[in-house]
Structure 1
Amino acid sequence: MPSLFNKQINILIVDDEESIVEFIKMGLEAEGFTVHTAFDGNEAIKLAQEVSPHIIILDIMLPGINGYEVCLEIKKFIKTSIIMLTARDDVDDRVKGLDLGADDYMIKPFSFKELLARINVRLRNSFPELADLLSIGDFSVDNGAHEICYKDKLLELSPTEYNLLKYLLINNGLVLSKSTILENVWGFDFNGEMNIVEVYIRYLRDKIGDKDHNIIRTIRGAGYKVAIQ
């Protein structure tokens, strides 16, 4: 399932260890984030002013200006969440970082899975409006506005069509049975015919021009799948 936060999110990684930077960068780009990198404090401050990152992953021990000073300076001019990622695990170091404006603190060595979870927490807390936006291929979903665009064109969808298409999109790559779709789109108490799913799939295919069923695929004996790279 794709992240609710994706390529619209700018993340700045600041660390003088190139191997760590590349490891984090590769993982975050695979999740769909836009990633920027800096290897010293001055470069980090300059880049932060240019790209206004939503999240900054910041080491403390940096050439020139250390991470504490970088954190203090950046917090003066942009809204961002800073996760300090450092080998310094002393309680006083953590307290100092948090007192200077850091939003979270992780110790090396670290788990990328945990770092990703903390990034998503910070995004939900600091930028809740972005959780309503989702981009998958040529589709963009605005949950707040209850709208879906395809190839930059707004689709005219009924509430049920919207809910069905959104459900298919957020489960991109997964095969969904008719019963699963019914439970999640129509609800557990739906008493109508199961073929209602087929009817609405046909409506959606017509509206997005999917004549060859390349976007919404029928998986014989299993259900339906959206497969978008």
Structure 2
Amino acid sequence: MDSDAARVLVVEDDMVLRTCIEDGLVDAGYQVMTAADGAGFSALVEAFRPDVALLDVMLPGASGLQLARHLREHTQASVLFLTARDAVADRLAGFDAGADDYIVKPFVMAELLARTRAVLRRSGKTRSRRLQVADLLVDEDAGEVIRDGVVIPVTATEMRLLAYLARNRGRVLSKTQILTQVWGYEAYDPNLVEAYVSGIRRKLEANGGRLIHTVRGVGYRMSETEPRMRAS
């Protein structure tokens, strides 16, 4: 994990949802710490020093509103509330407690990631969006992909795909992970990933060797060398 990556604290009592959020954030390149409730919250915050906290409002013991007030008093962390309660009064209570944003359940992972990025950007805690893999530069801020000094034209979706692969260079990513992170949903034809990978490979390999490798039966990996992992 990149030690310069933003630190995200997730406090959610639903284990399945907490695990899904953690997996999505880790896949997106963040450092992540999770908790099921507010027990030991002060010590956890002091040790982890989050840049942003994703807090369920309705928690056993101390509520998310109470945890947000603690963060506001003792840290510079941003706060994003996760809740099934979407009445105006609930939203106002959340913002009064110090929320920077408020996302209503159920939500898709792409929306949560977009809201997290926006909160971090507003607080000035975003990570560098210039990603380098061998002779390939993926510059999200400039909207450019450059290989060996040559600017490669890409679509917005191709840029998201390349950025996700580059941010996770060296890792094998499944088609489901790629669909979730790049397109924002899971229940879709995996052939979409294959088509886009094929297209972006043609563009990249016009100016150099292969960087996006297929791991049969698993997914794809961006690296300078062929992955050793093979499905049986």
TM-score by length of 2: 0.59
Equivalent residue letter for 1:53 = P
User: Which of 222, 225, 228 is the equivalent residue of 1:227?
Assistant: 222
C-alpha separation between the residues in 2 aligned to 1:227 and 1:26? 19
C-alpha separation between the residues in 1 aligned to 2:123 and 2:68? 16
Measured at CA, do residues 20 and 139 of structure 1 come closer, stay the same or move farther in structure 2, by a change above 3 Å?
farther
Asked if the contact 2:135/2:148 (under 8 Å) is kept, the reply is: no
TM-score by length of 1: 0.60
Superposed displacement of residue 132, structure 1 = 3.2
> Pairwise mapping of residues 153-168 of structure 1 onto structure 2 (< 5 A)?
none
2:65 is aligned with 1:65: no
Tell me, which stretches of 5 or more residues in structure 1 are unaligned? 144-159, 182-196, 202-212, 218-225
2:94 is aligned with 1:81: no
User: Which of 125, 131, 134 is the equivalent residue of 2:122?
Assistant: 125
SS of 2:39's equivalent?
helix
Tell me, which stretches of 5 or more residues in structure 2 are unaligned? 140-146, 167-196, 214-220, 228-232
Equivalent residue letter for 1:105 = Y
User: Which of 88, 112, 116 is the equivalent residue of 2:113?
Assistant: 116
C-alpha separation between the residues in 2 aligned to 1:62 and 1:18? 12
Superposed displacement of residue 59, structure 1 = 0.7
SS of 1:73's equivalent?
helix
> Pairwise mapping of residues 1-229 of structure 1 onto structure 2 (< 5 A)?
8-127=5-124, 130-135=126-131, 170=163, 172=166, 174-175=200-201, 177=203, 213=209, 227-228=222-223
Aligned length: 171
Superposed displacement of residue 18, structure 1 = 0.8
SS of 1:41's equivalent?
coil
Asked if the contact 1:134/1:140 (under 8 Å) is kept, the reply is: no
Superposed displacement of residue 120, structure 1 = 1.1
Asked if the contact 2:5/2:127 (under 8 Å) is kept, the reply is: no
C-alpha separation between the residues in 2 aligned to 1:216 and 1:111? 27
C-alpha separation between the residues in 1 aligned to 2:44 and 2:112? 22
Equivalent residue letter for 2:59 = L
C-alpha separation between the residues in 2 aligned to 1:139 and 1:55? 33
Residue of structure 1 in register with 2:142 after alignment: none
Asked if the contact 1:7/1:32 (under 8 Å) is kept, the reply is: no
Superposed displacement of residue 43, structure 1 = 3.1
Q: Summarize deviations over 1:17-48 as a string: whole Å, max 9, x none.
A: 11110011111111121111011113333212
- The CA RMSD over aligned residues, in Å, is 3.8
Asked if the contact 1:57/1:84 (under 8 Å) is kept, the reply is: yes
C-alpha separation between the residues in 2 aligned to 1:45 and 1:32? 25
SS of 1:42's equivalent?
coil
Tell which structure's C-alpha radius of gyration is larger: 1
Measured at CA, do residues 70 and 216 of structure 1 come closer, stay the same or move farther in structure 2, by a change above 3 Å?
closer
Residue of structure 2 in register with 1:207 after alignment: none
